[in-house]
Copies of this chain bind each other. A is one copy, B any other.
Amino acid sequence: MSEVAKASPTAPRKLKDITQWDFETDVAIVGFGGAGACAAIEAADAGSDVMIFEVASESGGSTKLSSAEIYMGGNGGTPPQQASGFNDESEDMIQYLLMAGGPQADEKKVRAYVEGSLDHYHWITGLGVPYKMSFHEKRDVMCLTDDCLLYTGSEKAWPFVEKAKPCPRGHNIEVEGDNGGPLLVGILTDQVEKRDKIDVHYETRVVTLIADENNDVHGLVIRQNMKEYNVKARKGVILCAGGFVMNDEMLQKYAPQLLRATYKVGNPGDMGTGIMMGMGVGAAAINMNEGFVSLPFYPPAETTYGILVNSAGQRFINEDCYHGRVGFHLMQQLGDRVYMIFTATDDWKPPSFLFADIAGTGETIKELEEELNLPEGTLQHTMAYYNKNAADGKDPQFHKSAEYLAPLEPPYAALDCTPGRGAFFPYFTLGGLDTLPSGEVLTPEGKPIKGLYAAGRTTAGIPRTGAGYSSGMSVGDATFFGRQAGIQVAKQNAR
């Protein structure tokens, strides 16, 4: 074996060099987060023996760190949607997700996801995940009560609202505080552990895949306690090893613009090794430049009354869209500064999650403009134009909804939302292996690689760009397509 092969997840171990199998199973799963758990449950329930290999000492991955909202709907509405008076049509959800994915949206995945969404709700709740039949109406980054439904994206905002009837589709688990992730993972872990057909190996690093000369995948090499073992996967391997936000070298190579953001959202295992292993047997990695970058300027929802301006003193976005969409367009602004401007009466406080410094204040906009050193007259015009139209409930330039339109009044304050100057910009990756809705991993020419499946952020899934992200898409995508991969691999003949 060459030096390259020895050191690298991208170089599979050769099947012909394997002299013994230390473990055998039908389905080998790399990673015990949301995707891996759901894949394991489905594969086991279809009668397959499953092994999960998790590098950490416990389950959960990035799902556990998240709020674990799941983006669900369509089909006339899930029970919480119907109970709250929302009849969510599938075509509206499909249209929203296609717009949200941008030109790289995967229509096959979108349609499969929507068509199976109500079933997914019943499957998840059938495992014991509780949802309250309630609606959290307030605009929020997450729901800190135990209520269920909330708007988690740009459904009500331009341009989405013009093309797809809005509906809240973020399903928040019935638990107080930001504790959805641990609760969901706890339930999924219990479900895994009670299945005899599933065997979990913690603190186990997957070193590389085992493939034959045609890149058909037959198993993987694991390392436990400083020793390597060969695992035969009679039906297939499912890569559920997360994204690559923790791997700065990969970020620099594939998505360098994300490095302007400040806070990596993920777990230490998000090193891209699943993606690299896939590439090592000829899989296509796609959408690798895309990521989620957020400027979480709400809650409180009232900050949405503020306006964002760039260094030309211009607005550039409807501030009522999702914080990730704001982040996406903020990062595209020419010039080196972005400010968010508010009416700052005595009771005004900067939004708690933003950590943005106050860059300037003023009794008049002219004073603020000078303090911010914006080109003379620009902010004055922007504000006059905005205020005049906001008084009429209109935003002819950017189409912020009337709900958040009101003239800004003195005294004013501006928060510095320039990347790199203090404001909080969480980010994660949205690129990964190209897969079919069934989880089959594809070559650059679109041919499935035999024996290899993937789900979750190791793949390019439903969320394809920060410009169209909604909270709940990642855990939704991971759990839904994790299930599909488990179902698909269980159907294979054992080799």
With A279-B284, A289-B289, A447-B4 in contact, do A215 and B11 touch (Cβ < 8 Å)? yes
Interface flag for A269 (CB, 8 Å): no
A328-339 toward B: CB 8 Å interface, digit per residue (1/0)? 010010100000
Determine the chain B residues whose CB is within 8 A of the CB of A376 once the complex forms: 396
Determine the chain B residues whose CB is within 8 A of the CB of A11 once the complex forms: 214-215, 282, 443
Interface flag for A14 (CB, 8 Å): yes
Majority DSSP secondary structure for residues of A touching B = loop
B284-A282 in contact (CB<8A): no
Interface flag for A216 (CB, 8 Å): yes
Q: A253: which of B102, B257, B284 is its contact (CB, 8 Å)?
A: B284
Determine the chain B residues whose CB is within 8 A of the CB of A8 once the complex forms: 443, 445, 447
B334-A253 in contact (CB<8A): no
A residues 111-154 touching B (CB-CB < 8 Å): none
A137 → chain B, closest Cβ, in Å?
27
B385-A4 in contact (CB<8A): no
Determine the chain B residues whose CB is within 8 A of the CB of A289 once the complex forms: 288-290
A1-12 toward B: CB 8 Å interface, digit per residue (1/0)? 111110111110
Interface flag for A375 (CB, 8 Å): yes
Determine the chain B residues whose CB is within 8 A of the CB of A329 once the complex forms: 334
Interface size (A, Cβ < 8 Å)? 62
Q: How far is the CA of A138 from the CA of B214 in the complex (A)?
A: 57
Interface flag for A280 (CB, 8 Å): yes
Determine the chain B residues whose CB is within 8 A of the CB of A102 once the complex forms: 256-257
A254-270 toward B: CB 8 Å interface, digit per residue (1/0)? 10110110000000000
Q: A279: which of B252, B276, B282, B312 is its contact (CB, 8 Å)?
A: B282
Q: A398: which of B284, B312, B445 is its contact (CB, 8 Å)?
A: B312
Q: A1: which of B214, B334, B396 is its contact (CB, 8 Å)?
A: B214
With A5-B214, A286-B253 in contact, do A276 and B312 touch (Cβ < 8 Å)? no
